[in-house]
Structure 1
């Protein structure tokens, strides 16, 4: 977490100068089962997560303090830092611990209202810690139009990834039109998919009042 012009810059926010790797780095490859899949010419173990999804490479601008630096690109999320905070359930603003005695706090858009108990909620937004919950609710780009719903979550298993589908061709590999629909782990579509955000399913949650939580913290 850094600050500019008295405004915090969340850890997951992309910075100027951070660039995605070239399409030329990708190729048609073969998995351990011998079936064709998307891969990198110089692929390493770090390019795939533990469930086999291939992740898009993106440079990082990191300062001497080990934190991101540079002008923020407010509406963009850095894939590696989003993956890190979502995987480890760390705060998306400060990358500190997000766990509370009651679970993890997630902020979702209020566009469709508060989810009912037992509803299926999937999110690519990492949790927030209580000290930065109010800041995130007021400044997060994905909440700025419809406001937020605060969920205290006791169970949030990994679900899958958001990214870009690809296909092989005589000219190499080509990106296909896609959307932000998460692809679950285990889906065969992941063989030709480049992940950019990690997704969890929120279960056993309770809608909470953010003001009450922050006041009690």
Structure 2
């Protein structure tokens, strides 16, 4: 399946006009099952946390009758829930089909710092791509289009952590802290007061491949 807007293929993870983030006022200090304080929502449900119990940013979704996003794309923005879905399930960020191949899972990384060497550890918040949409994803991502893309066929890509916004609690309530795009690993106590927006994997065993050498896929 694919998403077409004005005859242009739009990646599934791309944010759309009309999709709005939940209000800061929906956040509060709460407690986990062991009684330890952490960031939460006033009306929190199980889907607000990921498989490791980390709180995720709420952003509305514009979904059509076919179950796919609708509306004008905001090309430089990624929808948190759709990024999390495709990264967690190893699905293509463009069409949501499985990104698994007999030789591994295909990821795209920037050539800004050159191609990673074999044996290097690569951490990425870019969900994988299927063979059919690898070249499209390289062109549609503003960062990859600007710096060039390198394709990594990963045989091992465990979950690492998240990127998001740190918060703190004081006598005056919840406060937002300055954040960055540095991934925070699962298990870090800092994540108790973190609002995640991107899921990150570690690519450990991978082969660098040329996009032009990849088959077009089914």
- Same fold by TM-score, threshold 0.5 exceeded? yes
Determine if contact 1:106/1:125 at 8 Å carries over to the other structure: yes
RMSD after superposition: 1.2
Which position in structure 1 is the counterpart of 2:174? Answer: 173
Q: State how far apart, in whole Å, the 2-side matches of 1:82 and 1:154 are.
A: 21
- Is 1:105 aligned to 2:106, yes or no? yes
Query: Scaled by the length of structure 1, what TM-score is found?
Result: 0.97
Determine if contact 2:131/2:216 at 8 Å carries over to the other structure: no
- Is 1:63 aligned to 2:64, yes or no? yes
Secondary structure of 2:134's counterpart equals: helix
Secondary structure of 1:145's counterpart equals: helix
| Structure 1 residue 148: Cα displacement | 0.5
Determine if contact 2:131/2:217 at 8 Å carries over to the other structure: no
Q: Which moved more, 1:101-110 or 1:137-146?
A: 137-146
Q: After TM superposition, where is structure 1 displaced by more than 4 Å over at least 4 residues in a row?
A: none
Matched residue count: 217
Determine if contact 1:48/1:54 at 8 Å carries over to the other structure: yes
Secondary structure of 1:43's counterpart equals: coil
Q: State how far apart, in whole Å, the 1-side matches of 2:44 and 2:210 are.
A: 45
Does the C-alpha gap of structure 1 residues 215 and 46 become closer, same or farther in structure 2, counting only changes over 3 Å?
closer
1:133-148 equivalences in 2 (<5 Å): 133-148=134-149
Which position in structure 2 is the counterpart of 1:43? Answer: 44
Which position in structure 2 is the counterpart of 1:162? Answer: 163
Which position in structure 1 is the counterpart of 2:81? Answer: 80
Determine if contact 2:5/2:71 at 8 Å carries over to the other structure: no
Q: State how far apart, in whole Å, the 2-side matches of 1:4 and 1:27 are.
A: 38
Which position in structure 2 is the counterpart of 1:193? Answer: 194
Determine if contact 1:166/1:192 at 8 Å carries over to the other structure: yes
Q: Which 5+ residue runs of structure 1 have no aligned equivalent? A: none
Does the C-alpha gap of structure 1 residues 215 and 69 become closer, same or farther in structure 2, counting only changes over 3 Å?
closer
Query: Scaled by the length of structure 2, what TM-score is found?
Result: 0.97
